[in-house]
Amino acid sequence: MNGYYRLIAAFLLGGVTVTGFAPFYFYPAPVATLALLALLWRTSRTPMQAASTGFAFGMGLFGIGVTWLYVSLHDFGHMAPALAVLALIVLCAYLSLFPALAGGIAALRYFRASWAWPGVVAALWALMEWLRGTLFTGFPWLAVGYSQAPDSPLAGFAPIVGVYGISLLLMLSAAWLACWLENRQNRRFWLWLGSVWIIGFSLQQIHWTQPEGEPVTVSLLQGNIPQNMKWEPEHLSATMRTYVRLVQESPSRLIVTPEISFPLYYEQAPRDYLELLTEHARSRQGDVLIGLVERSPADDSYYNTMFSFGASPEQSYRKYHLVPFGEYIPLKPIFGWVIDVLHIPLSDFSRGGLDQQPLNLAGQRVAVNICYEDVFGEEIIMQLPQASLLVNVSNDAWFGHSIGPRQHLQISQMRALETGRYMLRATNTGVTAIINERGRVLEQLEMFTTAGLHSTVQGFGGATPYVRLGNSLLFWLIGLLLLTGCLAAFSGRRKTL
């Protein structure tokens, strides 16, 4: 296959990989596409050719998988179409550098000739995904491990090694398949692959955490406030009427509204209005979580904050992990012009503390995370094992009718799997849902409807290995595989596959 056809094939493979993610949930697809990508790497003439193949794969994966960013930039950020497309291409090109680097290193001659090559590929892929999710505050969206939640046998490893560990095992499986495709006489790869997947299935039968305390009734509110109207002053009263109605219709002890459900500073919120919501929560011997903007009078900084009102003392959680160019502008001397291009309200938030503890609400210990924060699993576990419930509040109206909100739902499913906790999602336009400790969606509201999701959920105690160790085990696996690969590649006893 010549160079151009290889690039086209890699791009198409990247695009097909998107079907492994929500809303499609076809988890076998990434196994096949990554296996064919690994085969292209093995048959590359040079490391540079393998790197360009990895780059093309990334452009297909991200170019199709994160098209919802165009909706955010153009439809709601009012960026010119050409500039929005250019920004999306630049982002996808940056994200594609990581699979390019993995492919370039994996195609080095000494590695390819080694029996340990599949492990090297898997370790490099997982390491590159972790770097992509860490550098410059990180963008871990579409880490391939998410595609296995919740039904794939590999999802059984989530409570142990987290999403990046699943990415490693997925790529390891794909590399074994690639080696078999290259030499179909060697069937030992099927034995190794089958063993990993059977172990994953067995791990799915283990209950890592245990029910704790009595179940609690919850109401997750979806206001369905159009994004282009949310921050308009003339629409504020309608928004507040919507939420007071939804709160008063809620029969539950724990009531959750979405991120910045009221586009107001906390100090500006009418006291009688907040008291009305507080009294309703107290009448149920519970609490209501309200999203507001909090301003610090000391330095005039402001925060994306969730406040609680009700039977428990008033508490709050400030968002820690902010969205670059959405909630703050990095490197302002260089990128300050973005403020003039994007019409995003309040684009200069300050960070809350990383050491914030769960809120004691309605007899539960609630670990709150706001919107984008649930993409960072190792930050979520900072409030565990103390927390009995996870709550994510979001405003995915920025993504419109794209696949973005569904992908975000799958990310929350992975967090539930990693932690062994229910994840409750209250969003402005969807997907508002209840996810159990096994990562399965039990109930959800139809998107773009105004409603409350009322149900009963169970708090959980205990700690999964991932909660205790974070990504430590992942790094040990990466280090071990890379060390084994290097020793096998540079020893005098190299054995080809």
Query: What residues are annotated to the active site?
Result: 259, 319, 371
**Helix, strand, coil tally for the chain in percent (to 5):** 55, 15, 35
Map residue 107 onto helix, strand or coil. Answer: coil
What is the signed CA dihedral for 127, 130, 135, 140, rounded to 10 degrees?
A: 140
Token pair for 365: 């210990």
Q: Fill in the amino acid letter for 207.
A: H
Residues 291, 393: contact at Cβ < 8 Å? yes
- Give 150's DSSP letter: T
Q: How far is CA 267 from CA 264, 274, 319, 494, 497, in A?
A: 8, 11, 18, 69, 67
H/E element holding 161? helix 158-182
Cα(241)–Cα(248) distance, rounded to whole angstroms? 11
Buried b (16+ CB within 10 A) or exposed e, 406-419: bbbbbbbbbbbbbb
Residues 389, 421: contact at Cβ < 8 Å? yes
Beta bridge partners of 222: 451
Exposed / middle / buried, residue 486 (Cβ in 10 Å: 0-12, 13-18, 19+) = middle
Q: How far is CA 357 from CA 352, 354, 368, 369, 380, in A?
A: 12, 9, 9, 11, 11
Token pair for 207: 């209950």
Nearest to 309 by CA among 331, 329, 336, 279: 279
Nearest to 11 by CA among 68, 66, 65, 58: 58
Cα(46)–Cα(153) distance, rounded to whole angstroms? 35
